Chains A and B, each alone.
Chain A
Amino acid sequence: MASFFDVAGRRAAAAAAQSSATPSTKAKDPNRPVPWVEKYRPKSLSEVSAQDHTISVLKRTLQSSNLPHMLFYGPPGTGKTSTVLALAKELYGPELMKSRVLELNASDERGISIVREKVKNFARITVSNASATQSSSYPCPPYKIIILDEADSMTQDAQSALRRTMETYSKITRFCLICNYVTRIIDPLASRCSKFRFKPLDEENSRLRLEEIARTENVEYEDGVIDALIKVSEGDLRKAITYLQSAARLHNPIIQPKPGKVDNEGDEEMEDEEDDGDEDDPKLVLDSKKITVRSIQEIAGVIPDQTIDDLLAACEPKKGKSAYSDISMLVRNIVADGWSAGQVVLQLYNKLVFNDIITAEQKNDIVLIFSEVDKRLVDGSDEHLQILDLALRISEVLAKG
């Protein structure tokens, strides 16, 4: 690459680039890889999966074209943002949406000053008239929508500044708050909105959606991959789709539409990196084009069952021998292999709680230990010590019974 200050060199390089006719500043490339999460975002309300109750209520309000203030809450990846965007699109159509909808999220500064200025100013503007063509194909109700995404990361002060604004301009502006934890929204705000709970997606709906995406993208996969995806994503459809895309990239070499295409190379590099990281896992050698269950688990950071089973086996009481040496050796390896402590805790927990050999009393004690260790990990304690402590104490409880 030419040095920045070497003007002549740069000019020559630029000229060379021009002559080889690769216009790098093309505005929109139809083949540009889009994250599948964006690509398969529901485009209308009826496409939103699994939130039947919410959707039917919203559709009814759509017909009467009178909308209350809304508060959407629920775990990540359940379609909150998608729903409100789809709703806005059905109300206004793509053109009018630009002037009628204001979207603010946590990446924008949302202190009290922004609420006072930006939000208030937008709320105050009188509604522009819809053109004849627009109003013929869309309802175009006479109000604007302000979407406050990730509202639970707004400060208390900023939230209280909203209170009066919401009421004063309610004739021409509707608010839609989106959050994960409804408890972080102050009561006065919550009581001004009609609440919609988004529940985690059930298996059936996630499966339908994932299979549909896999079919459209021509992804080949082994049996059980979809099940694995549903299991690791825990009802978070966005997570499941991202994992599916990563896995597809890992297994299917990218077919280059034309030589020297820029974006694809970056993807290939990522692929190589993933490859390097897994040298110790011979199963992941990319000989098959089908996505395997193991590669899904690797992408999701799930620890192989064998490792967890080994650790549990080491925790079992043994006659005349302390469990310490085995456990400490295994824990050291787990930490060195880079597994996350949170994941270890989660998987151990799932194994232990559903183990029928352990008595209910022992489980009581064990669950207490888990809660304590989890809290400590969240506080940023050392992972090695905490996992070791966890394993040793479990082994103590198991030995007691």
Chain B
Amino acid sequence: MTTTNRKIEFNIVASVYHIEITPSDVGTHDRVIIQSLLKEIGQTQQVDITAKQKFKVVVINEADHLTRDAQAALRRTMEKYSPNLRLILIANSTANIIAPIKSRTLLVRVAAPTIDEMVGVLKYVAELERFEFSNKLARRVAEESGRNLRRALLMFEALYAQNEVVKDNTPIPPPDYETLIGQIADELLADHSPARILLVRAKFYDLLTHCIPATTILKLLTFRLVAKIDDVLKADVIKWAAFYEHRIHLGSKVIFHLEAFVAKFLRILESYLMGMEF
């Protein structure tokens, strides 16, 4: 596919029933994909005359990461080619989808499964895999996963893979990066010196080189820290976490903002302990 004179490589997942695209893969060039690819699909009819539906289905993943331009290009395309083309947009949140698109679509909110539903799924899996199932353990796994079913299933699998005998109180192995972030939190709480920041930096780099998103690091770290400090400080720590998380999105180098947050946190904590106004 060409824009003015550049070629873009783009992956499409297709079956006889649908075409799946992730336009945000190509960054700021996603408008070209929407304009050329979708129009091309929309202008031709379904080839298979035995098909039940006359229209083709295009699934757009990560629709909330589409640029404004691409979304503007979608507006008319959606209406014009509706006989040949139905779009399914998938997004984590509707916050970044422009109003004209929202008013043209049927919103289907998919809530995260409740704890009880998750226990049900885990039970079903345990039956199929012939595991010994315990309600209490499943409930713990579900709560630990933060209502994320994929994570709960992975944790469940890891639990049975690592232990010969699984009891109700078997510790649930957290993902490696969470262990490391937990370590960082403990280290920060143990010693509030600048030398500690230097020590922690190596661990941040370790996490970042393993492709853990900075937002995830900051969020997990914040919640770990908040759980262990005095109630008075909590609001303040969250405030600064939100502040630096915003900076991560605006800035170019994430390590600066992670360290700035750590420094800020230590300062707040230390001045509180010494009884100073901060």
Contact = CB atoms under 8 A, between A and B. Distances in A.
Interface of A: 1-2, 4, 10, 13-14, 16-17, 24-25, 32, 35, 38, 76-77, 105-109, 111, 149-150, 153, 236, 238-239, 242, 246, 262-263, 265-266, 270, 273-274, 277-278, 280, 298-301, 322, 324, 332, 336-343, 373, 376-377, 379-386, 388-389, 392-393, 395-396
Interface centre among B75, B102, B235 (most CB of A within 10 A): B235
A1 B108 contact: no
Contacts of B102: 239, 301
9 contacts: A35-B79, A107-B72, A236-B99, A263-B53, A266-B55, A278-B109, A381-B242, A381-B249, A385-B241
Given A24-B54, A298-B109, A105 B76 contact: yes
Given A150-B72, A376-B246, A17 B50 contact: yes
A302 to B, nearest CB: 10
Contact of A236 (B54, B86, B95, B103): B103
B16 A4 contact: yes
Contact of A35 (B82, B93, B246): B82
B46 to A, nearest CB: 8
Contact of B235 (A17, A324, A341, A384): A324
Given A380-B96, A385-B242, A385-B245, A107 B35 contact: yes
Nearest to A271: B106
A338 B93 CA distance: 7
Contacts of A383: 93, 95
A107 B147 contact: no
Interface in B147-174: 147
Given A107-B39, A242-B103, A380-B96, A338 B239 contact: no
Nearest to B64: A380
Contacts of B246: 376, 379, 381, 386
B123 interface: no
Contacts of A13: 50
A-B CB proximity, top 5 nearest: A322-B231, A389-B242, A239-B103, A336-B112, A107-B76
Given A109-B35, A342-B95, A383-B95, A16 B50 contact: yes
Given A263-B54, A340-B94, 15 more contacts: A25-B45, A25-B49, A153-B68, A153-B69, A278-B109, A322-B232, A336-B147, A338-B109, A341-B93, A341-B95, A376-B246, A380-B249, A384-B219, A385-B238, A389-B239
B106 A106 contact: no
B111 interface: yes
A336 B149 CA distance: 11
B104 interface: yes
Contacts of A76: 99-100, 103
Contacts of B74: 107
Given A324-B231, A340-B95, A389-B242, A332 B16 contact: no
A380 B64 CA distance: 10
Interface centre among A299, A384, A385, A395 (most CB of B within 10 A): A385
Interface in B51-86: 51-55, 68-69, 72-77, 79-80, 82-83, 86
Contact of A150 (B45, B75, B82, B234): B75
A99 B270 CA distance: 76
A398 B86 CA distance: 48
Contacts of B111: 277, 280, 336-338
Nearest to A396: B235
Contacts of A386: 242, 245-246
A295 to B, nearest CB: 12
Contacts of B82: 35
A397 B111 CA distance: 31
B238 A388 contact: yes
B112 A338 contact: yes
A322 B234 CA distance: 9
Contacts of B69: 106, 153
B242 A376 contact: yes
Interface string B4-42: 100000000000100000000000000000110001000
A150 B73 CA distance: 10
B114 interface: yes
Contacts of A24: 49, 51, 54
Contacts of A393: 235, 239
A270 B105 CA distance: 11
A382 B215 contact: yes
A2 B48 CA distance: 9
B234 to A, nearest CB: 4
Nearest to B109: A338
Contacts of A32: 83
Given A266-B86, A395-B235, A301 B94 contact: yes
Contacts of B35: 107-109
A332 B147 CA distance: 10
Given A24-B49, A262-B53, A377 B108 contact: no
Contacts of B48: 1
A393 B173 CA distance: 35
Given A107-B75, A262-B54, A324-B234, A340 B16 contact: no
